[in-house]
Chains A and B, each alone.
Chain A
Amino acid sequence: MMPNFPFLKNKKAEDKSEVFVPSRRDFLKLSSLATGGFLLGVNFQCAGPKGETITFAPNVFISITSDNEVTILAHRSEMGTGIRTTLPQIVADELGADWSKIKIIQGEGDEEKYGNQNTDGSFSVRMFYEPMQKAGATARHMLIAAAAKKWEVSPEECNTENSEVIHSSGKKINFGDLVADVKDMPLPDPESITLREFSSYKLIGKDVTIYDARDIVTGKATFGADVDLPGMQVAVIRRSPVIGAKVISFNDAKALAVQGVNRVFKIDGSGIPPGLDKPLEGIAVIADNTWAAMKGRDALEIEWDLGPNQTYNSAKQLEEMLQSTTRDGKVRRERGNFNAAQKTAGKILERTYLAPFYAHATIEPPAAIADFKEDGICEIWAPTQHPQWARQAVGAALGVDVTKVKMNITLLGGGFGRKSKPDFVVEAAILSKAAKSPVRVQWTREDDLHFDFFHSHSAQRIKVALDKNGDFTGWNHHTVFPAIGATASATELHPSDGELGLGCTDFPYDVPNIRIESHESTAHTRIGWLRSVSNIHHSFAINCMLDEVAEARGMDPIQQSLQMLGEDRNLDFKPETDGKYENYGEPIEAFPWNTGRMKKVIERVAKEANWDQMLVDGKSVGFAAHKSFLTYVACIVLVEKDSSGKITIPEVHYAVDCGIGVNTDRIRSQFEGGAQFATSLATTSAITFENGIPKQNNFDGYQIIRMPQSPKKIHVYIIESMEKPTGVGEPPVPPYIPALCNAMYKLTGDRIYQLPFKA
């Protein structure tokens, strides 16, 4: 069940997005799958009795009632990127709907119905821009056809705006008044559907306020733990302190004596490997309320067989990993002959880079609600990034078919990859079945930090060869980190091709001799993916090294990057990676790696930040550029020391080329937040293990930055582009960290080789 790299696009799932290209055949296919949740097939029904509201629903995303209420369904999970607004925005623009009156509803987890719902890998807009355009345009064509027939005019003379069809004469009719005419109309041939001129869009490419803003600020928005069901109990679980630990015995007498505690139940864990979608072994305390469950848990007496991970020490492993990079590794990319370049070099630079485990630390700890009913249906409410995987995992755990699992998706109080994994959802389902009542599983912060699927710690060594003229002739990058795959399969010792394609094997610079090697390491905890995944440590090492190389060559780092990107052209990493470069799951022909686009963001950020003048003025500025998730980003960070000697980050400049930008406000907000998120990774956050147990328990140990430490003015320059849209959730993080480190070097004279550094 484990998707190999869920942060990469799942091709099979993508193919299902074809169902959104509306055709009668697909429509009928979809209708037969309808389970009554959403309005499917209603446009084939007869009109109701006079006066009854009737509905036109040309596809699963749009419904328009005879009262002129336009509803758009959001099928991707909202964790703060704004996707619940951005995709409906595309539909509404093509449809010509009145955005101020639009209603957005959240689709349940059902990939048969909606296509891919795995909200991960920054690909929601990339994958659904066109299907959403077509969904909206199809409805517009049908409404216009109905109005044109009514008015006996040509459809070409009509347009839609503000939920009305408007004729060139000025005649208008609202969508609702056309529902009766359009609901029986056959779906048009997809080939006949034309999209609007880009310049005519009123929502796409604009700042649009997120749909949930008012509900959020008034406390009405529903997150994972906010659903109340009649008779619901609350469960808190004491999980295996060390990954792979097993319960030998437990005594629940004291826990059951706590007032409000109703039951104690053992959850069987998966052992080693722990798996990406399975609960850990644990003892659950089920109570009337959260507090009673917590107190009951404190009173549990459990004897554990801690297993082999009880001696695990992460600092020791990191040291061993670093040592391993002195040896020959498994070659993952080769160009030319690095050894020869090394032999003839005038100068060799050799540096190592270490980064720690990171926890996601979403402010909303995992929580999920399950209601296992007597008819075998298990209904869930969960803040999940990957509803379909959660359904499958629940189905497997309960031994029921996936169709018996009804998955409602709440807002997510942060995701960053943590809430892709359905372990906490499965816990709720198991416990609801055991308790014969609805159950909410509530994780505490301590649970969250101890039982996360961590971003892996890493060791890297980079050797650079410069010839006697100072030309950059060789690049040898060693990388080692416990792989995500190891969480599901203990034999996975090397990072996968997918993980290396995230900022390592896609090294884009014109160096004639390149060798990239990986080394073995084992996972002793659960490894997962965190916002931008292995791009985090790869970009840190590469961009810090490039800054040092530029200095050694007496070059401006920006000039060096522009020069080394070479002529404007498309790169292909497949020939040098034995065909294994994955390009985030996209064909390289459709989403090429274009050096010209990268140079453009670098030039733009340098110009806007006034880089040359900053250097003249002796400012402590750092630069880095990094493409990830098919989006090009360049970043400049300014650091200063205040009168008390405290280091501050007064300015950040980002230039981004993400192709067509849909919601420009949410693009900026992702970059603003990305800089803050990355500041934590660079300066305050680390998880370390002793005796197999994370030493950090709460936000005092695992620190994330607070307002006084935050970077201040964050400028985001969005390149105007008609290229295919790509994501912005993750790409802000990778270039920021090395840009900050390079700025710190200017300020302090010390290079940074290990994260987090103390600012």
Chain B
Amino acid sequence: MEKFTISVNGKKQDVNADPDMPLLWVLRDLLSMKGTKFGCGQALCGACTVHLDDEAIRSCSTPISKVGDQKVTTIEGLDSEGHHPLQDAWVEHVVPQCGYCQTGQIMNAAALLKKSPSPSDAEIEESMAGNLCRCGTYNRIKDAILTASKAL
């Protein structure tokens, strides 16, 4: 066990953890932040996507020891009121079915829009390809990203 101090959604958090412990389990089990989801543990599905600084990363495969000074942003911190343009667009298009993958989808899309505020269709498809949705909401996800990109 080691002591780590990480910045999560603008707040310093002290945790005692195995250095190998993935950030996902630090968030979920040690900090009780449940918005970030476990899907595969191998960076294959994107359900656990959070931001390290401005990059979308898979928290299931990022050990706490690699976080360092980088700022962690989770779905809980994407927008203090829960009304990020992507969140609003997701509701407007009624994207979610079961909803489980959607926080990861939104975090991935938010990182995309930071880099590319008006992404093309192809750009959206390419950057969202790491996020699986078993219910099959892909088309509405794309529509919602396009709507949000206009609102930004």
Nearest 9 interchain pairs by C-beta: A219-B35, A676-B136, A413-B100, A80-B98, A80-B97, A673-B136, A216-B99, A219-B75, A218-B82
A217 contact set on B, CB distance < 8 A: 82, 86-87, 90-91, 95-96, 102-103, 106
* Chain B positions 75-99 with a Cβ under 8 Å from a chain A Cβ: 75-76, 82, 86-87, 90-91, 94-99
Say if the beta carbon of B117 comes within 8 Å of chain A. no
The answer to whether B129 and A291 touch across the interface, beta carbons within 8 angstroms, is no
Say if the beta carbon of A672 comes within 8 Å of chain B. yes
Q: What's the minimum C-beta distance from A131 to chain B, rounded to whole angstroms?
A: 25
Say if the beta carbon of A445 comes within 8 Å of chain B. yes
Say if the beta carbon of A548 comes within 8 Å of chain B. no
**Bound CA span A259–B21, Å:** 12
Say if the beta carbon of A361 comes within 8 Å of chain B. yes
**Bound CA span A84–B86, Å:** 24
Given contacts A213-B91, A218-B75, A221-B99, contact A672 B139 (CB under 8 A): yes
The answer to whether A289 and B100 touch across the interface, beta carbons within 8 angstroms, is no
A225 contact set on B, CB distance < 8 A: 28, 34, 38
Q: Give me the interface of B with A, judged by CB distance under 8 Å.
A: 1, 17-18, 20-22, 25, 28-30, 32-42, 44-45, 47, 74-76, 82, 86-87, 90-91, 94-103, 106, 124-126, 128-142
* Chain A positions 347-396 with a Cβ under 8 Å from a chain B Cβ: 361-365
* Chain A positions 402-456 with a Cβ under 8 Å from a chain B Cβ: 411-416, 442, 444-446
**Bound CA span A714–B143, Å:** 13
**Bound CA span A79–B89, Å:** 22
**Bound CA span A675–B74, Å:** 31
**Bound CA span A295–B40, Å:** 16
* Chain A positions 224-239 with a Cβ under 8 Å from a chain B Cβ: 225-226, 228, 234
Q: What's the minimum C-beta distance from A432 to chain B, rounded to whole angstroms?
A: 17
**Bound CA span A416–B40, Å:** 18
Say if the beta carbon of A677 comes within 8 Å of chain B. yes
A675 contact set on B, CB distance < 8 A: 136
The answer to whether A228 and B138 touch across the interface, beta carbons within 8 angstroms, is no
B125 contact set on A, CB distance < 8 A: 707-708
Say if the beta carbon of A162 comes within 8 Å of chain B. no
B103 contact set on A, CB distance < 8 A: 216-217, 219
Q: What's the minimum C-beta distance from B133 to chain A, rounded to whole angstroms?
A: 7
B95 contact set on A, CB distance < 8 A: 217
- Given A221-B99, A707-B141: 13 more A-B contacts, CB < 8 Å: A213-B96, A217-B106, A225-B28, A289-B30, A291-B20, A676-B137, A677-B136, A699-B44, A699-B132, A700-B42, A706-B138, A708-B125, A710-B138
Given contacts A209-B91, A223-B37, A700-B44, contact A363 B101 (CB under 8 A): yes
Say if the beta carbon of A240 comes within 8 Å of chain B. no
The answer to whether A289 and B99 touch across the interface, beta carbons within 8 angstroms, is no
Q: What's the minimum C-beta distance from B96 to chain A, rounded to whole angstroms?
A: 5
* Chain A positions 652-708 with a Cβ under 8 Å from a chain B Cβ: 665, 669-670, 672-677, 698-700, 704, 706-708
Residue from B34, B133, B141 in contact with A226 in the complex, judged by beta carbons closer than 8 Å: B34
Residue from B29, B39, B87 in contact with A363 in the complex, judged by beta carbons closer than 8 Å: B39
B44 contact set on A, CB distance < 8 A: 445, 698-700
A704 contact set on B, CB distance < 8 A: 132, 134
Say if the beta carbon of A712 comes within 8 Å of chain B. yes
The answer to whether B139 and A712 touch across the interface, beta carbons within 8 angstroms, is yes
Say if the beta carbon of A330 comes within 8 Å of chain B. no
Say if the beta carbon of A82 comes within 8 Å of chain B. yes
Q: What's the minimum C-beta distance from B62 to chain A, rounded to whole angstroms?
A: 13
A700 contact set on B, CB distance < 8 A: 42, 44
The answer to whether A82 and B136 touch across the interface, beta carbons within 8 angstroms, is no
Given contacts A217-B90, A217-B91, contact A673 B97 (CB under 8 A): yes
The answer to whether B29 and A212 touch across the interface, beta carbons within 8 angstroms, is no
The answer to whether B74 and A219 touch across the interface, beta carbons within 8 angstroms, is yes
Given contacts A218-B82, A219-B75, A672-B139, contact A79 B39 (CB under 8 A): no
**Bound CA span A674–B97, Å:** 11
**Bound CA span A361–B135, Å:** 10
Given contacts A79-B98, A364-B100, contact A291 B22 (CB under 8 A): yes
**Bound CA span A669–B28, Å:** 30
**Bound CA span A672–B94, Å:** 12
